Amino acid sequence: MAAYRCSSPVWLFILCSFSVFIIAGSEETPVAQEQHANVPDNPQTAAETAEQTEKETGGAEERRWEGTEVRDAATQKQAEPVVLQSTPRPKDDFQEELVVRPLHSGDIYASFQFRTLWETDFMRGNKVSHYRLFPKSLGQVISKFSVRELHISFTQGYWRTMQWGQPYLPSPPGAELWVWFQDSVTDVDATWKELTNVLSGIFCASLNFIDSTNTVQPSASFKPLGIGNVTDHRFLRYATLPREIVCTENLTPWKKLLPCGSKAGLAVLLKSEKLFHSSFHSQAVHIRPVCQDWQCKTTSWELRQTLNVVFDLHNSGQGKREWSLFKMFSRTLTEACPLASSSKIYIDITDNPEGEHFELSPATSLLSQAMVLGDRRTFSVYDLTQQDTFGSVRSLNLLIRWKSTEGDMLRPLLHAERYVAGYGLQTGEIHTLMYNNHPYRSFPVLLLDSVPWYLRLYIHTLTVTSKGKDNKPSYIHYQPSKDRVRPHLLEMLVQLPPNSVTEVTVQFERALLKWTEYTPDPNHGFYVGSSVISSLVPSTVAMDTNSTQERPLFSSFFPCKEESSYFVRVYTEPLLVNLPTPDFSMPYNVICLTCTVVAVGYGSLYNLLTRSFQIEEPSPGLAKRIANVIRKMRGVPPL
Amino acid sequence: MKTHLLFNLFATFLLADGLNIEDSAGQFFSSGHTNNWAVLVCTSRFWFNYRHVANTLSVYRSVKRLGIPDSHIVLMLADDMACNHRNPKPATVFSHKNMELNVYGDDVEVDYRGYEVTVENFLRVLTGRLPPSTPRSKRLLSDDRSNILIYLTGHGGNGFLKFQDSEEISNVELADAFEQMWQKRRYNELLFIIDTCQGASMYERFYSPNLMALASSQVGEDSLSHQPDLAIGVHLMDRYTFYLLEFLEDIHPASKANMNDLFKVCPKSQCVSTPGHRTDLFLRDPGSVLITDFFGSVRKVEITTEAIDLTEPIKEVEERPANGDVHKEMHSYVDQLPVSEIIHQKPKQKDWHPPDGFILGLWTLILLVFFQTYGIKHLRHIF
């Protein structure tokens, strides 16, 4: 009996374990296939072959999935055929690159660019909810505020064009924000105010100080950098905060927007202690719609995060003309970001074709040429997605060692300066100088000046002179300021004659602010934002006009429409002016003085008038007082 | 037989486990709070007030280390010391001389900085009356089960605290703000620490329940700074916060240290001033209040024995490409500097506004004079 009872549970057990084994065995293979399908996604070295293998494995997976379905129809629900097709091709792509350019003054310029491309439509009805490489905070900002283009930059330091040449991505000192809205926005100013508040929370910056007193609407500058055909400037807003400080608290949220964060790839080099101990540091975020391919039939959203830094020879370089990744960033590279489809380092060796000026180690055989800033430059390329770049030590520390200090720099073709002339605290004059260093070509520049309302410009004193003669601008747009509401906006299209200096001067008068409008440190002065000079500068070589995407990132930022010139934007210095500042200790001093006068003057007079005098006997000595007490007790009159 | 035995064992185990769960659930609800917030404010501007920023950043560092996330910390620094041009080591703020400890770190998020640190913004953060477009990181989104730590440092006097050398907050305003918070149920318990001269005067006027306050000096005493660093050139920390930081460095998230230990921080021999504290408005006994109730964010985990079914696969909705979109137009980039277009640009149409002010008055005057001269009935001869 016991044996009989024991056998049936044993059979049941064997059957159960067998069915479990079958199920486990069949479930393993689809999981393995899925993992295999995901691996070719990430470094997409050859897009087509990867796609093909994907489809194949997806097809095989599909077949296998259907096989298990037949067996386990009871436990699993019917899946729709649409989902069972090959795993969808990921629609977003991430690339990172670092360009290192040695400068003639011994400094070194490093420019990081991180680009995420995403084929999606934020403006359609259904909300985007699955974010993979594109950061969710920015995606929500784009869809909520109907943003067509967003450009924000935080810069510490001033770019010295004459010593360093032109930057790949220009930016003014402080914070700068300019946004193109979609034409579906009805109230642009209210949307702009909300957008600045939201961005101030995302980037930990005081962008909420952007309001109507420092926002302008340029009429010809700042055309959209992305694709589009409508350029109604009613949807453009531009603001700059020259006083804005950039520090680690702005870098931290910026790094968090990257897909790999600061854990892998080029972003591990971004350590704040080294980045802020530099002559120039600028980080920016640019969002715009771009063409997906050379045919340009569909658009995708591009997010570029750029970081430009110039390390000083004496501060960070300790005077020795030898730069390495470890010396610049106190880190070396160990791997590329696994989510990146391309991860490259470019070193500019145009001035060093035979290796006579500096030596680069570890040596690399990859070379690349790119048309950037009107010149054909040669670069040594390090591809971080290849394992052999890292060598046997598994870490890459590029070293650039100088052998000779010769060589001079080509003068940049366009350069600008600005300063305040005059004396005293009542009037002054703003001078803007634009240098055209081309020997025989002249080119037009568009100058945008936004001056705060408390410097009252006298536009009738505006003069534009080149080589001593008057140079009439072909286009002037001036919007006068309104006290406490709007700043001045001056836009001019000036033709710069070859090899000349053009000077734009305008006189102003300083206003007296209300005492509550002064900052807590008014004796520091008040800032006037940089002027922006946009120009099409003639290039020495023919520029590449077809907008394919195989170009390195640093050469494909500004769209190029013609071959003979390239677009450049130059920012001048911000100005610092002193306004007539009242003495803030005045109320305290007045109260002290008034109270003293009242107490001494009026008090004495009051006493004199109201005091009455009485004659009083001097008090007798102690013995007499005791005697008087005894006499009083006896009832005898006192002494 | 064996199955019966197994079943009994299993049942007793479940029962014991159940009792344990109830016990821990009871402990979970005894401390009263479910989340932690911190509002850390430095109110001084200028380079020579480096120590106030270092004070605030030390408390920020401890609070972050003990578990409160950045989203629950409102950090207000009135001036930037780390990237100040006078700082010989940029992006660092040191609390110990010889540059031992960088309290600024690599992962700091400052919510209010520079000119944004004003009395008005501070009170708005506390009471929650912020403009609607304020981002979440700048708000104190506490509820009635939140324990809040408020730390203020700067220059102060008898009954006031100076903000940015241009305005003050008085102890009456602060007490009223806390009362507003109590009435709006914005805190469960609040710990207020202040490190300024005559700091005890700031908590004299509190009258809302569940407030505990600590100050670095009594009325009539000055709080002194700790030590200068000759390379940086300024005093790095205030004494009270220096010893508070040393005390907090020994606390870890599972620590059982309580408020009585916190009251003993920085006695008169180390601080020169007499730190004070106030616990009469606090309902619990300070000896039973853990340091991590305010400085840390200890999450209590409740273990459940139910099973959740996760076998159903998540279906990703495939975006169907829009049909009939075969012929898409070619997009192109915009010309960056279209010179001919700009020169021939028509002036943009400005929106018409009705005349106001002076123009309106002038026209009214002209019309009045006109009608006065000519009279209404003669107008038909003119027109």
Task: Please spell the DSSP secondary structure of A35-95, one letter per residue.
Answer: HHHHGGGSS-SSHHHHHHHHHHHHHHHHHHHHHHHHHTTTTSPPPPTTTTSSPPPP-EEEE
pTM of the model: 0.81
Q: pLDDT-derived band of residue A251, with 50, 70 and 90 as boundaries?
A: very high
The pLDDT assigned to A89 comes to: 62
Mean pLDDT is lowest, of A31-35, A340-344, A495-499, for: A31-35
Contact A227 B331 (CB under 8 A): yes
The conformation of residue A602, written as its DSSP 8-state character, comes to I
Alpha-carbon distance A342 to A330, whole Å? 24
Contact B342 A220 (CB under 8 A): yes
Alpha-carbon distance B91 to A274, whole Å? 8
In 3D space, the residue among A336, A631, A351, A198 whose CA is nearest the CA of residue B139 turns out to be A198
Contact B336 A276 (CB under 8 A): no
The pLDDT assigned to A78 comes to: 43
Q: Tell me if A545 sits within 8 A of A562, measured CB to CB.
A: yes
| CA A561 distance to own-chain centroid | 26
* A490 φ, ψ (degrees, to nearest 5): -130, 120
Question: Which residues lie below 8 Å from residue A82, measured CB to CB, with a gap of 6+?
Answer: B318
Q: Tell me if A508 sits within 8 A of A430, measured CB to CB.
A: yes
- % of chain A beyond a pLDDT of 90: 54
Average pLDDT (A385-403) is 84
In 3D space, the residue among B194, B206, B192, B162 whose CA is nearest the CA of residue B37 turns out to be B192
Query: Is B42 part of the annotated catalytic residue set?
Result: no
Reply yes or no on whether the pLDDT at A81 is more than 70. no
Reply yes or no on whether the pLDDT at A23 is more than 70. no
DSSP of A427-473, one letter per residue? EEEEEEEEEE--SS--EEEEEEEEE-TTEEEEEEEEEEEETTEE---
Q: How far is B349 from chain A (nearest CA, A)?
A: 10
Reply yes or no on whether the pLDDT at A404 is more than 80. no
Reply yes or no on whether the pLDDT at A212 is more than 50. yes
A498 against B16, higher pLDDT? A498
Q: pLDDT-derived band of residue A400, with 50, 70 and 90 as boundaries?
A: confident
Contact A228 B106 (CB under 8 A): no
- Residue pLDDT, tens place only, A353-368: 777 888 888 888 888 8
- Block residue for tokens 């379905």: A69
The pLDDT assigned to A66 comes to: 32
Please name the residue of chain B whose CA is at the shortest distance from the CA of residue A519: B115
Mean pLDDT is lowest, of A162-176, A420-434, B170-184, B362-376, for: B362-376
Mean pLDDT is lowest, of A135-149, A625-639, B7-21, B258-272, for: B7-21
Give the active site residue among B52, B96, B197, B266.
B197
| CA A582 distance to own-chain centroid | 36
Alpha-carbon distance B266 to B246, whole Å? 10
Tokens standing for residue B239: 């004494």
Q: How far is A223 from chain B (nearest CA, A)?
A: 6
Chain B interface test: which of A85, A124, A144, A249 (most B C-beta within 10 Å): A249
If you average pLDDT over every residue of chain A, what do you get?
Answer: 83
Low-confidence ranges of chain B (pLDDT < 70): 1, 7-8, 10-31, 316-328, 346-351, 377-383
Alpha-carbon distance B141 to B163, whole Å? 24
Query: Is B197 part of the annotated catalytic residue set?
Result: yes
Most confident of A84-98, A463-477, A557-571, B219-233: A463-477
Taking CA atoms, B350 is separated from A216, B347, B353, in Å, by 15, 9, 9
| ipTM, 2 dp | 0.81
Please name the residue of chain A whose CA is at the shortest distance from the CA of residue B317: A83
Q: How far is A350 from chain B (nearest CA, A)?
A: 28
- Residue pLDDT, tens place only, B238-289: 999 999 999 999 999 888 899 999 999 988 888 889 999 999 999 888 898 9
- Residue pLDDT, tens place only, A43-75: 434 334 433 443 444 333 333 333 333 344 444
The pLDDT assigned to A556 comes to: 83
Q: What is the 3-state secondary structure (H, E, C) of B59-127?
A: HHHHHHHCCCCHHHEEEEECCCCCCCCCCCCCCCCECCHHHCCECCCCCCCCCEEHHHCCHHHHHHHHH
Spell out which residues of chain B touch residue A521, defining contact as CB-CB under 8 Å: 45-46, 165
Spell out which residues of chain B touch residue A558, defining contact as CB-CB under 8 Å: 336
Reply yes or no on whether the pLDDT at A202 is more than 70. yes
The pLDDT assigned to A83 comes to: 44
The pLDDT assigned to A366 comes to: 86
Task: Count A/B contacts: CB-CB distance under 8 Å.
Answer: 164
Reply yes or no on whether the pLDDT at A100 is more than 80. yes
